[in-house]
Amino acid sequence: MLSEIRAKAEAGKRLDRAEGLWLLSEAPLLDLGALAQESRFRLHPEKQVSFVIDSNPNYTNVCITDCQFCAFYRRPGDAEAWTLTVEQVLEKVESPPRVARPQCYSRAVTIPRCLSTITSLS
């Protein structure tokens, strides 16, 4: 399957659903990486790469969604719960970038009272 996919990619043809599913679920990771690298250099032959520094200036860790994988949140009223003021959030957002201009977004935590914080920042 990999050689057919590589041939299609080199010809600039779209992959079909079954090929996409195979890449997602069965392709050997190193082969998938090599294929991605080939596609990348076909589209952008320069050997220049840039990076984005992500920043998550969370304004609170209070949440009621209870995602099982999450170690970040605290339930309302928890001793370790915190919510920043608008000034504190702006200070986090405006702090100087360490290397490059960071991409900055805030995760929406599920708690109704945070809506006033969000709207006052926009």
> Which residues of the chain form contacts with ligand SF4 (CB under 6 A)?
63, 65-67, 70, 72-73, 109-110
**Least Å from the CB of residue 81 to ligand SF4:** 12
**Least Å from the CB of residue 114 to ligand SF4:** 11
Q: Closer CB to ligand SF4, residue 5 or residue 62?
A: 62
The DSSP annotation for 41-79 comes to HHH--S------EEE---SB-B-SS--TT-SS-B-TT-T
Q: Closer CB to ligand SF4, residue 5 or residue 59?
A: 59
Give the number of other Cβ atoms within 10 Å of residue 19's Cβ. Answer: 17
